[in-house]
Amino acid sequence: MKKSIVILSGGLDSTVCMSVAHSKGYELYPITFSYGQRHSREVEQAKKVAKYYSCARHLILDIGFFREIGASALTSQEIEVPTNRHIDDEIPLTYVPFRNAVFLSMAVGYAEAIGAEKIYIGVNALDYSGYPDCRPQFIKAFQEAVNLGSAAPQKGCPIAIETPLLSLTKAEIVKLGVKNGAPLHLTTSCYNGGEKACGICDSCQLRLKGFKEAGVEDPIDYEDYQQK
């Protein structure tokens, strides 16, 4: 069976991305990163999502690097997670420096090792928080780096980076997840990582907006938001 790597955070986008790879008939090899984020909830949810899909193997890597350099509200306790922020194109405090490049680099190495032909990553360039490593230009440039810097193309098995959510709105992502039967109830999006989502951080706001516009009830619980 053909294989694919899925960068799985346990969040909405990566889980829907996993559902797309599953719908294409790939044997799934998710890779999850514990990179010094403020909480471990997303890693725990990623484990549940991987179990839901009966994945052949779920690789979980601890990367202390991001914890050491800080510089992000997601990896430093000294920087507060912004709440009720007007979401625009400015790079927010929750941006983790060059994180997707690091994740993709490791995923490429994993793909080469097991002979996977695809790497799925749930980056999005429409309803997103202003992260530069979610832009299509970055993905295009990284794909070129993979083509030039990996041995896979010379062996006749090039590795393609798949970004099925890149140009979708958050509402379209929710609808796609519902269509594919993705376990949205197992996902977490909150930057604060509580038992209930805060409802007021950037990620919660984007998620809530997406479910509302999709006309779908969000299956997770929130602290500061009452669904109507």
pTM value is 0.94
Burial of 202 (0-12, 13-18, 19+ CB in 10 A): buried
- For the chain, the straight-line distance linking the first and the last C-alpha, in angstroms and rounded, comes to 44
Q: What does the block give as tokens for 193?
A: 């990582």
Which domains are present in the chain? 3-214 (3.40.50.620)
Annotated binding site for ATP: 8-18
CA dist 111 → 57, 84, 161, 165, 194 (Å) = 13, 39, 11, 21, 33
Binding positions are: 8-18, 190, 198, 201, 204
> Which residues line the annotated binding site for Zn(2+)?
190, 198, 201, 204
Alpha helices in 124-189 (DSSP H): 136-149, 170-180
pLDDT in tens, 193-218: 999 999 999 899 999 999 999 999 99
CA 164 to chain centre: 12
Q: Can you tell me whether residue 74 is helix, strand or coil?
A: coil
pLDDT, tens digit, 9 for 90 and up, residues 153-207? 988 899 999 999 999 999 999 999 999 999 999 999 999 999 999 999 989 999 9
